[in-house]
Amino acid sequence: MASPVPTGVPRQQGPPPNYNPNFQQTPDGGLANNMQNLQINRPPGGPPGSSGPRQPPPFAPGQRMPYPPTGPPPGSAPVGPPSSFPGAAPIGRPGPPPSGVPQGAPPGGAPRQPPPMAQNMPQGRPTGPPFQQQSPFGVRPYASGPATTGPPAPSASGQTAFSNGPPMIARGPVPGAPPSSFPGAPPPPSSFPNAQPQPSSFPNAQPPPSSFPNARPPPSSFPSAQPPPSGPPPVAQPGSPFSQTPRAFPGSPPMGAPMDHTGGPPPPFSAGNPGMPPPFAAPNQGMPPPYSAQTQGMPPPFSGQGMSTQFSSPYGPPQMRPQFMQGGALPGAMPLGQYGAQMLPPNQAMQVGSSHVGAVPGSSKIDPNQIPRPIPASTVTLFQTRQNGQASVPPPATTDFIVKDIGNCSPRYMRCTINQIPCTGDLLSTSSMHLALMVQPLALPHPSEEPIQVVDFGESGPVRCSRCKGYINPFFKFIDQGRRFICNLCGFSDETPRDYHCNLGPDGRRRDADERPELCRGTVEFVATKEYMVRDPMPAVFFFLVDVSMNAIQTGATAAACSAISQAIADLPEGPRTMVGIATFDSTIHFYNLKRVLQQPLMLIVPDVQDVYTPLQTDVIVQLSECREHLEQLLENIPNMFQSNRVAESAFGAATKAAFLAMKNTGGKLLTVLVLPSVGFGALSAREADGRSNSSSGEKETHKLLQPADKTLKTMAIEFAEYQVCVDIFVTTQTYVDIASISVVPRTTGGQVYYYHPFSAVSDAAKLYNDLRWNVTRPQGFEAVMRVRCSQGLQVQEYTGSFCKRIPTDVDLPAIDCDKTIMVTFKHDDKFLEGSECGFQCALLYTTIYGQRRIRVTTLSLPCTAVLSNLFRSADLDTQFACFLKQAANEIPINPLIQIREQMTNLGVSVLHSYRKFCATVSSPGQLILPEALKLLPLYLLALVKSIGLRSDGRLDERSYWVNRVASLPIPMAVPLVYPRMMSIHDLLSKEGDGSSIDTIPLSSEHISDDGVYLLENGEDGLFFVGKTVDPDILQKLFAVTSVDELPTQFVLEQHDNELSKKLNTMVNEIRRQRCSYLRLRLCKKGDPSGMLFFSYMVEDKSPGILSYVEFLVHVHRQIQTKMS
């Protein structure tokens, strides 16, 4: 008999022979099958092999997308109207569903085939670009080198590189500690700086032989790239590790394309192919690796021999010689700490302080290369969400990984700040850490991951707990021969519906568990029944609102907006459910009748901006298929129609209200391009004097200018959300526009603010087009409602993000897309048992772009612990820092900046103090001990304190935009936002590869020379810094000029006919692909304001009023010492 397996835990062996996740796969399987979120943009009945929208490629303005998507096939019927919340219980459970829908196997029957994957494209449309044509962005970055699940092998020099990048949790128990209940983590680095190199755990590790049997290697990036923004970056072409049939992926050649000489496609991510590196690349050659083992003849880097630092900190010189240390593994017994926590030992130490107050012995400084910094992972990680019946520790969010869903959801969809849940609230309070989930329900998957399965239970609807309304998931425990089940969230024992009954196997699990996605996958989509609907599903409505005031015309914003809209609508899905409308505004509002029966569009003017109305209820918004010609003609004529306009006023609020009245019956997305709203309903006044920031540290009331001017727009936004209207605002301006006030509308309706300041029609038109196109074509849903449930013992405390909230338990989202993240914080209301598991479940009820009503259910189950040291060992740095970031953004409009900077520092100090007090070994008071998983927390907190949001010298609009962006920022973008990547450009020719491999350098002016060219990027902006003495030959090759003085102020990166320029363009396109964003490029020169902007990102340097990185570490250590005493 098979050994018993805990009920609810998926089997460890592979799926049965009859399991085919690519059910109903067509021979020319399309890329959408490997982008499971794209099924929400796929119509019912469309072929699984058809493609869907992708990330914005760097197309030039005016260049058409090579393969625009289209709408559903004729006759596709809507599923039904939406509901008020996903927690709505079905009215009753009818008998078995009617024939024609996928059913489960009856008791004792044949195994059930998996349901078909979600569809997102109609028939008769191209599945991808023509063969040998460049493809748009992929969904996630790739790293070069073989895929692996183990640690990297030792370097050729024999040194053991310490993992001082994103935190890696120790695998297995700490020596001397009780066995850990949290397996699956990699081993820690060496315990001491003078430790001998340890052999790799996998010295001869090879890539898993069967994970990617049919994968194709990614092609070299941009072999024939054109001058940006015309050349879209490539997409790698791996196969799904869960698929047994070949499929085409984004950017892959058609099925049947030539294979290699072995008779099959070469393995994915091969070392010979240039890969896509993670956000933080390895140091340059010749630079000592951070925390590397010492070489022969050299003292340990942190031994303190001959190392002391002069401090010019406002906090004064240190009282003693603090040693910086990281917690790790130390052989031997360890004393017990409070709450039964095993003391964790030190890992690394360095002397940085002076021996007494007022004097600093010695003159040498600490090498900045020897302090913790993020470094990239060199391989793609294959991550299984559960191993040996327990949750696995997810890889860092900033690295590249492929997820195999084995019961727990992918960390892309839901990630917890701590991967072990504290049993009591007191234990959580002692750790000083946040307990929160980052939920990104429609996140883009890796193209090699298994698509999300869609399950249709027919008229009966999905099986749910009758007490807490939780949805069926792999952790429901079936008992009494399958006749009853126990909910993993509330513990209630419920009766299994008769049509869903199945006998249990010898291991206690249902015999059909591996054939049912809802019982073996952490993320699944259910087809919603009528019980979840209160009206017919809304159509996909896109209404464009364009500013045609004098300022907008003169700056070129109107022409750029019309060109971007004209190209973006070509990518909208065709069909009867896609509807569009357009209006323009200055001091009045102009609607346009786009009916096909008219020979040309008819303008309808609304002059009253105080009491607005819609002139027509029907003909303002029409089907795209009926008005495409009229719309394109109108967009071409609008710039000429208003070319001589001398009306400077802009009635943004009134125009937005009038457009809402036109959309009120349907809902949809309202995309607005504007300058400063100055007249009519919701008019704003310029609260910031032109050319003055009003945000110096001496002004204590500055934060009040970051609050909305009045409640008018907030009241209007709540009404918009009630009628399912989402507003996105594209701010193309040269001056202040009071983003603090206008951002209330998109933030309340689930939208987004795009900020182009100062707008340039020359350099910003391409970004405006790409941002607009991605906004309307990315995977998204409408009229959504989200609820997060958790096990008894926890309760939801608060939701944070861009949404409207009417009741405490639910989040209303007029629209939600793949880039939106919602933070959910929790608090204890009871105790957990040691060794039990705590479950989290997110249910998102939404309407797809084709009118299908779906419920996406994402489930995560984590172990509970009563040992404090386990919390620090399982902490997730990226998620923890994202919590700090969002908390700071929420405080900025409320409290003075200096108070928020202090608060963020104190929160980080409290976490490190708790570890030092309760988990670290007894050590010298001069040692700063950092937990291995959070060793980069001081660096990221310092970067946060120096960020645009918390700096005292920023403009109000820039800070307001930063706050609005952080509200729904995904985890992988949190660290780059405040700690960007910097790369040297002038020496690209000396580096191997085509430029797609990105090597970063520390953010310190010590690494910048006057004869160099550097690129700094944070996912939104790319800053080129050009030194004063750069070789004219390099300037000629990169920018087609011979001196720095000839560099243009309005910069457009072009590709010239030389190797250096080609490598630079390849690098920029690769960054755009990784970030899923079209970087806004600027030129910075030393000595002018642009140069000051560049150096403001040098996080590790000392800045006015803020410490350097080394000084900040000393300050953190002193704060911990004060708490200890």
Mean pLDDT within 58-86: 41
The tens digit of pLDDT for each residue in 741-792 reads 999 999 999 999 999 999 999 999 999 999 999 999 999 999 999 999 999 9
Mean pLDDT within 453-457: 96
Taking residue 261's Cβ as centre, other Cβ atoms within 10 Å add up to 7
Mean pLDDT of the chain: 74
Mean pLDDT within 363-374: 64
When pLDDT is cut at 50, 70 and 90, the band that residue 1051 belongs to is confident
Continuous segment of H or E residues that includes residue 885? helix 877-891
pLDDT above 70 for 101: no
Taking residue 298's Cβ as centre, other Cβ atoms within 10 Å add up to 9
Instruction: Decide if 526 is inside a domain.
Output: no
Mean pLDDT within 68-95: 40
pLDDT at 688: 60
Taking residue 260's Cβ as centre, other Cβ atoms within 10 Å add up to 10
When pLDDT is cut at 50, 70 and 90, the band that residue 1009 belongs to is very high
Instruction: Decide if 393 is inside a domain.
Output: no
Local structure of residue 832 (DSSP, 8 states): P
Helices (H) and strands (E) in the chain, counts: 20, 32
The tens digit of pLDDT for each residue in 154-184 reads 333 333 333 333 333 333 333 344 443 333 4
Pairing assessment for the beta strands 1013-1017 and 1021-1026 based on DSSP bridges: antiparallel
| More confident call, 869 vs 132 | 869
Q: Cα dist. 217→54, 186, 200, 221, 996 in Å?
A: 20, 27, 27, 12, 15
Tell me how far apart the alpha carbons of residues 223 and 133 are, in angstroms, rounded to a whole number. 11
- Alpha carbon distance, N-terminus to C-terminus of the chain: 60
pLDDT above 90 for 721: yes
Best CA proximity match to 729, nearest among 697, 693, 682, 762: 682
| More confident call, 277 vs 31 | 277
Q: Any idea which of 359-373, 464-478, 838-852 has the lowest mean pLDDT?
A: 359-373
Q: Provide the percentage of residues in the chain whose pLDDT is more than 90.
A: 53
Continuous segment of H or E residues that includes residue 1123? helix 1109-1124
- The top-scoring range by mean pLDDT among 339-348, 707-716, 919-928 is 707-716
Single residue among 778, 799, 834 that ends a domain in this structure: 778
Q: Provide the percentage of residues in the chain whose pLDDT is more than 70.
A: 65
pLDDT at 991: 80
When pLDDT is cut at 50, 70 and 90, the band that residue 361 belongs to is very low
pLDDT at 952: 87
When pLDDT is cut at 50, 70 and 90, the band that residue 617 belongs to is low
Single residue among 736, 755, 778 that ends a domain in this structure: 778
Instruction: Decide if 913 is inside a domain.
Output: no
Tell me how far apart the alpha carbons of residues 560 and 1082 are, in angstroms, rounded to a whole number. 19
Instruction: Decide if 467 is inside a domain.
Output: no
pLDDT above 70 for 949: yes
Single residue among 778, 804, 830 that ends a domain in this structure: 778
Q: Which domain holds residue 1074?
A: 980-1095
Pairing assessment for the beta strands 390-391 and 386-387 based on DSSP bridges: antiparallel
3-state secondary structure of 459: helix
Tell me how far apart the alpha carbons of residues 640 and 649 are, in angstroms, rounded to a whole number. 19
Q: What is the CATH number of the domain that holds 1085?
A: 3.40.20.10
Tell me how far apart the alpha carbons of residues 55 and 137 are, in angstroms, rounded to a whole number. 5
pLDDT above 70 for 612: yes
Best CA proximity match to 71, nearest among 1011, 849, 1072, 919: 849
Count of domains in the chain?
Answer: 2
Cβ contact 862:419 at 8 Å: yes
Q: What is the CATH number of the domain that holds 771?
A: 3.40.50.410
Local structure of residue 154 (DSSP, 8 states): P
Q: Any idea which of 526-540, 607-621, 1009-1023 has the lowest mean pLDDT?
A: 607-621
pLDDT above 50 for 291: no
Instruction: Decide if 667 is inside a domain.
Output: yes
Q: Write the DSSP assignment of 25-71 as a string of letters.
A: --TT--GGGG-GGGGGGS-TT--TT-----SPP-PPTTPPPSS----
When pLDDT is cut at 50, 70 and 90, the band that residue 687 belongs to is low
Q: Does 345 sit behind a cis peptide bond, omega within 30 degrees of 0 on the bond before it?
A: no
Mean pLDDT within 436-453: 96
The tens digit of pLDDT for each residue in 411-425 reads 999 999 999 999 999
Mean pLDDT within 489-500: 96
Cβ contact 698:897 at 8 Å: no
When pLDDT is cut at 50, 70 and 90, the band that residue 615 belongs to is confident
Instruction: Decide if 1123 is inside a domain.
Output: no
Tell me how far apart the alpha carbons of residues 1061 and 955 are, in angstroms, rounded to a whole number. 34
Instruction: Decide if 596 is inside a domain.
Output: yes
Flag whether the pTM goes above 0.75.
Answer: no
Instruction: Decide if 903 is inside a domain.
Output: no
Token pair for 733 = 């301006």
Q: Where are the beta strands (DSSP E) in 686-793?
A: 725-732, 753-756, 780-790
Pairing assessment for the beta strands 853-865 and 794-800 based on DSSP bridges: unpaired
The tens digit of pLDDT for each residue in 545-571 reads 999 999 999 999 999 999 999 999 999
pLDDT above 60 for 190: no
Token pair for 261 = 């000489």
Q: Any idea which of 339-353, 532-546, 629-643 has the lowest mean pLDDT?
A: 339-353
